[in-house]
Structure 1
Amino acid sequence: MRRTTAAATAALLLLGIPTAAAGTTDDEQLLYKYVKDASGAYGYGSDPVETYPGSGTQVSIPTTSAEETRRFSSAWVATIDNLNFGRPADAADFDSRFTRVLDDFESWNMNAVIFQVRPLLDAYYPSELNPWSGFLTGTQGVDPGYDPLARAVEATHARGMEFHAWLNPYRVTNSKMTSATVLGALDMTADEVKALSIPEYIAALADAGILAPDNYAVQHPDQVLMFEEKLFLDPGEPAVRTSVADTVAEIVANYDVDAIHFDDYFYPYRITVDGENVFFGDAGEDRATFEEHGLTAGYADTPEDIERWRRDNVTALISDVNDEVDAHNAATGSAVQLGVSPFGIWEHKENDPAGSNTPTTSSQTYSGSVFADTRGWVQDELVDYLVPQIYWSFDQGAAPYGDLAQWWNDVAAGSRTQVYVGHALYKHVNNGGWEQAWMNPEEVPNQIRFNQKLDDIDGSVLFSYNDMQPSDLASLPADQQPRHEAKNQAIELLREDAFGHPTLVPAKPWLSDGVVAAPKGVQVRDGHLVWEAGDPQEARQYAIYRGTGSPKQIIAREGALVGTVWADGASTLEFELPNTASSTPAREKWVVTALDAAAVESAPVAATGKPDKPGKPEQPGKPDKPGKPDHPVRPSQPGGSEDGR
């Protein structure tokens, strides 16, 4: 397996990797558990890692990464509790902070930004339906005096990346009612606040300025439920679905977003109290809603049918939002996508033959909790893409990465819905102290290489943006340094390998109008590629390739993509050639294609002329600052969830 500098450093600690067993090829290497020896050194041991415990099939990893031209590459930028994006002082500060995000994404060769614009029932944009987010100003409902979403979308596009607007559909509060922050704001004791009804508690939050007067929950407290001392909208209320769909309609009507993105929070996850599992519904939290909307719709009053009703409620939300996005696309000729990032386990095979090889002691989201039939959404093509959060290592028996990646790949087979994988880069620091696999800097790089073997896995998303930043080891206590060093080495590996070259997002032809007009008059002139738009209104961006052979052969070759230029409706465009253009062999050609909003590509057009005056290495159309004035934290283990998404 090829090893870069970081990998070579890690290799010094190896306990000795056994030679590849029969059944592997020179292109793959068998995977063994990453362990800690008696001296405290970490490395690969001699115990094989199976796709799932008892499978009898050992995981094998390709020894090299393919330079795929089409691959979704992104990370989540969470604004909930200012997790990945601090509270900006003003418009200039917002621009500065967002520019740093784009600089990092660009340096990682990412092609999309997933930015949270509705962390609670609020907005990072002026809205007639939702109050301003308190994570912008410190107080929900206070106008910051500028439009963050407009600025973010324009700046992202100027860098040649898609902007995916991330919304949480139901969440009202993210702090427990007995937390010190809430009790202090309400000037109440824990016993006093727990004695309040849900409408009384909402009214108290509004009086304290925690919830704005125009918050949907304040206006409709009868449509709010509570679990684990947190408030969320009732998924069983039809009016709630309408309000969420209306929010999506408002965003796509007013902003040039490339996608609407939901995370994994629908009905609540199970929790553990005093060592016992507690499930939403056990205390009859939505009993009244079921009697009003479930029994009257023909669902039987049985545990199985109540679960089916809940699943149907969530599916109805996805269907309603999909209808809004489709209507917008049909009316405007747009190609806005709908994507969801679900929990990594749909269901266990012991509970359903279609499930994964995961034990019933692990969480799942088809039954028991959450009630998201994500497999059904793929089969019915209700979403354009899914990003399952496969936040576990290959050797995690409760949720083995290899089996789950294969399971999601198989689910996507035959469906137009694309599947990208969410990777837990954060676990090097969070879990490295007690899960030896996360001391391995090659864990996520191995996962991405493993995905190359799966035809229907089309990309990777990292959780989260903060974990793309190297740690300053010298500033950390000695006992924390090894975990952060593993993360730092993983970052280096990823940047050099899986994210070491530019990529285009996967095409979605079902969102395209058809044939895309090719660029015209492509020439090399004074160190630039220049061309005319074939159709300025249709082109979303342009792809620049370099290679030998015919234009079709060049664009089909891995590693030929050099960069992109965002179209922005321009009729005349250019691309500044990198310094390496001066050494381009005479037989090599520059080729330009146009892509529409669905990333469907035009015929390639080769440039005429010679690259005689190369420019600077920076790519054009990517300003240092935005042009105009924090994923979700995921359940760290299959058994529970964490705050902070």
Structure 2
Amino acid sequence: MLSLDRRDFLRLSAGAVVTGAAFSASVTTSIAPAHAAGPQRARQFRALWISSVANIDWPSRTGLSAAVQRREFEDWMDLARSLRLNAVISQVRPSADAFWPSPHEPWSQYLTGTQGKDPGYDPLAAQVRAAHERNLEFHAWFNPYRVSTQSDPKKLVASHPARTHPDWVFAYGGKLYYNPGIPEVRRFVQDAMMDAVTRYDLDAVHFDDYFYPYPVEGQTVPDQATYARYGGGASLADWRRSCIDTLVEEMHERIRSAKPWVKFGISPFGIWRNRSADPAGSATSGLQSYEAISADSRRWVRQGWVDYICPQVYWQIGLAAADYAELARWWASTVEGTDVALYIGQAAYKLTSGDFTDRRELVRHQEVNARYARIAGDAYFSASDLRANPRGAISALVDEAYPSPAIVPAIAHLGGRAPQAPLAVTAARTRDGVRVRWQHPPGSATSYAIWRLDGTDTAPVRAEDPSRLVATLRARPGRAQEYVHRGGSGSGYAVTAYDRTWNASEPAAARTR
């Protein structure tokens, strides 16, 4: 993930982050685009990253009232829906701090401007509620080891664990980090994150690419004493990787033990290793996360320590050092034979910066993705760049690649059970379109999809024909369930129910009257 302390290995400019710009009204709602970017899918993960570090996306600045912060976040959720996305990845622990009342770490400074100051409400609870009301999955994004974007521990609140345990922390590259090689640190950061997992209705836990810090020329990570104590005879590089492997494996096990339906995903740097260094690597020549930040992302996939992997493939098609098409192929082959879902991290910010000179670069990425059945979706960094819609590029992406909504793909090993089909479905013509109504079935339904039919034949629904998918929405038990298809002209409609891991019920249909 692009942050304050890293540019990609090509040293390309990240460009200014744009905030507050209105999204172009040119996004259409037509069912069939003029030029579809590859075969359309009814099941596709579509997410945006919302960054809180340095107030990149949310909140837009520190010190806003609780009401304004809530409204800003709801605006981001509305943007996600308008772009036909179905998930948000929101940063809730950017720098060893918290966007919820944590017993382990202080309130984040990015809320009020003062670390440790109560914002007067529970931002994480409000975020989860806002996302779920719009039927968006909520992925809580945590940074395990970054403590501060500056290097002076005295600038942290006095009660900060980094000050009460100064031996846990090192300074490097002008920043502060928890030392990943100390077992007590690993347990502590897991405890801090698991507090949110156990207390909130999260759909997923998400890590980005920050493990050991990215290399800084002329500096050495100061963990020699830790290595001498815990290295156990392994090389320094292998030991560091083992420390991160242990964090990943243990975190996955703890999440599964506490809430087996909550996904665990990581968004690593886009290159694991180059083929010149390892025959199993990609045909690239860039920075290798295996060496640079001790991230053995291929092993996490092959061992099944993650439920999804979302590599940051932040480069254009045809780039010699890191060709998007080559990396998409490599990651698709890496997840082959596993039950790990593959989503691709997309650099919307490079449209803003101008590094992507082709307005349709992200559309072309979708055309590449369509070659591989194992690529199940995408996430876009960052939210502000989607809102800015530079050169109309995001409008083009939505028009061509996302002409209809999409349902989050199910991940088999997460389990769950298909709920009972919706009850008493009716479809009635109104002045505005067609009003579809149904009753909430007993059991585990958390959301619905509405499909347009020709007659009442539900075969297209069972096949999940994306051209028939009209909308998805959250279940509201105890309340009337309905959806108005504005301008709708279907001679019949069907509704399917989904549990929280996206297992589908049988469709229930009605002829339009």
Q: Is the 8 A contact 1:502 1:561 kept in 2?
A: yes
The residue that corresponds to 1:270 in the other structure is 215
Tell me which of 481, 488, 491 is aligned to 2:394. Answer: 491
The residue that corresponds to 2:104 in the other structure is 129
Report whether the alignment pairs 1:541 with 2:467: no
The residue that corresponds to 1:185 in the other structure is none
The residue that corresponds to 1:365 in the other structure is 289
Letter in structure 1 aligned against 2:453: G
Please report how far the alpha carbon of residue 280 of structure 1 lies from its aligned counterpart in structure 2 after TM superposition. 4.2
The residue that corresponds to 1:338 in the other structure is 264
**In structure 2, do the counterparts of structure 1 residues 88 and 594 end up closer, same or farther at CA, with 3 Å as the change threshold?**
farther
Tell me which of 403, 422, 427 is aligned to 1:500. Answer: 403
Letter in structure 1 aligned against 2:264: L
Letter in structure 2 aligned against 1:366: Y
Please report how far the alpha carbon of residue 572 of structure 1 lies from its aligned counterpart in structure 2 after TM superposition. 4.8
Tell me which of 39, 53, 72 is aligned to 2:45. Answer: 72
Greater mean alpha carbon deviation, residues 341-350 or residues 243-252: 243-252
Report whether the alignment pairs 1:453 with 2:371: yes
The residue that corresponds to 1:606 in the other structure is 509
The residue that corresponds to 1:189 in the other structure is none
Mapped to 2, the partners of 1:80 and 1:417 lie a distance apart of 28
Q: Is the 8 A contact 2:418 2:498 kept in 1?
A: no
Please report how far the alpha carbon of residue 555 of structure 1 lies from its aligned counterpart in structure 2 after TM superposition. 4.1
The residue that corresponds to 2:303 in the other structure is 380
**In structure 2, do the counterparts of structure 1 residues 126 and 561 end up closer, same or farther at CA, with 3 Å as the change threshold?**
same
The residue that corresponds to 1:247 in the other structure is 192
SS in 1 for 2:147: coil
Q: Figure out how many residues of one structure are paired with residues of the other and give that number.
A: 471
Please report how far the alpha carbon of residue 488 of structure 1 lies from its aligned counterpart in structure 2 after TM superposition. 2.0
Please report how far the alpha carbon of residue 559 of structure 1 lies from its aligned counterpart in structure 2 after TM superposition. 1.6
Letter in structure 2 aligned against 1:412: V
The residue that corresponds to 1:619 in the other structure is none
**In structure 2, do the counterparts of structure 1 residues 88 and 574 end up closer, same or farther at CA, with 3 Å as the change threshold?**
farther
Please report how far the alpha carbon of residue 513 of structure 1 lies from its aligned counterpart in structure 2 after TM superposition. 2.8
**In structure 2, do the counterparts of structure 1 residues 88 and 409 end up closer, same or farther at CA, with 3 Å as the change threshold?**
farther
Report whether the alignment pairs 1:320 with 2:268: no
Which structure 1 residue ranges, 5 or more long, are not aligned? Answer: 1-61, 178-200, 206-210, 273-277, 472-486, 612-645
Mapped to 1, the partners of 2:219 and 2:495 lie a distance apart of 55
**In structure 2, do the counterparts of structure 1 residues 571 and 125 end up closer, same or farther at CA, with 3 Å as the change threshold?**
same
**In structure 2, do the counterparts of structure 1 residues 280 and 546 end up closer, same or farther at CA, with 3 Å as the change threshold?**
farther
Using structure 2 for the length normalisation, give the TM-score. 0.88
Mapped to 1, the partners of 2:418 and 2:323 lie a distance apart of 42
Report whether the alignment pairs 1:230 with 2:175: yes
The residue that corresponds to 2:349 in the other structure is 426
The superposition leaves residues 599-627 of structure 1 with CA deviations (integer Å, 9 ceiling, x where unpaired) of: 111111113x535xxxxxxxxxxxxxxxx
Q: Is the 8 A contact 1:241 1:320 kept in 2?
A: no
Pairing of 1:78-117 with structure 2 (within 5 A): 78-85=51-58, 86=60, 87=62, 89-117=64-92
Please report how far the alpha carbon of residue 511 of structure 1 lies from its aligned counterpart in structure 2 after TM superposition. 1.4
Q: Is the 8 A contact 1:532 1:571 kept in 2?
A: no
Pairing of 1:420-569 with structure 2 (within 5 A): 420-430=343-353, 432=354, 435=355, 438-470=356-388, 487-524=390-427, 527-536=434-443, 538-548=444-454, 550-556=457-463, 557-568=465-476
Mapped to 1, the partners of 2:195 and 2:37 lie a distance apart of 45
Q: Is the 8 A contact 2:418 2:499 kept in 1?
A: no
Please report how far the alpha carbon of residue 531 of structure 1 lies from its aligned counterpart in structure 2 after TM superposition. 2.0
The superposition leaves residues 89-143 of structure 1 with CA deviations (integer Å, 9 ceiling, x where unpaired) of: 2211012111210121111011001111001011111111111000000010000
Report whether the alignment pairs 1:292 with 2:229: yes
Letter in structure 1 aligned against 2:121: Y
Pairing of 1:589-600 with structure 2 (within 5 A): 589-600=492-503
Mapped to 1, the partners of 2:205 and 2:459 lie a distance apart of 33
Which structure 2 residue ranges, 5 or more long, are not aligned? Answer: 1-34
The superposition leaves residues 523-543 of structure 1 with CA deviations (integer Å, 9 ceiling, x where unpaired) of: 22575322223234x112111
Please report how far the alpha carbon of residue 414 of structure 1 lies from its aligned counterpart in structure 2 after TM superposition. 1.2
Please report how far the alpha carbon of residue 553 of structure 1 lies from its aligned counterpart in structure 2 after TM superposition. 2.6
The superposition leaves residues 389-448 of structure 1 with CA deviations (integer Å, 9 ceiling, x where unpaired) of: 000111211111111110000001111111111111111232x2xx5xx21101111011
Please report how far the alpha carbon of residue 279 of structure 1 lies from its aligned counterpart in structure 2 after TM superposition. 6.3
| Bigger-Rg structure (1/2) | 1
SS in 2 for 1:73: strand
Letter in structure 2 aligned against 1:347: R
Mapped to 1, the partners of 2:418 and 2:408 lie a distance apart of 18
Please report how far the alpha carbon of residue 510 of structure 1 lies from its aligned counterpart in structure 2 after TM superposition. 1.6
Using structure 1 for the length normalisation, give the TM-score. 0.71
Greater mean alpha carbon deviation, residues 124-133 or residues 495-504: 495-504
Mapped to 2, the partners of 1:599 and 1:386 lie a distance apart of 18
Letter in structure 2 aligned against 1:354: A
Mapped to 1, the partners of 2:386 and 2:131 lie a distance apart of 18
SS in 1 for 2:130: helix
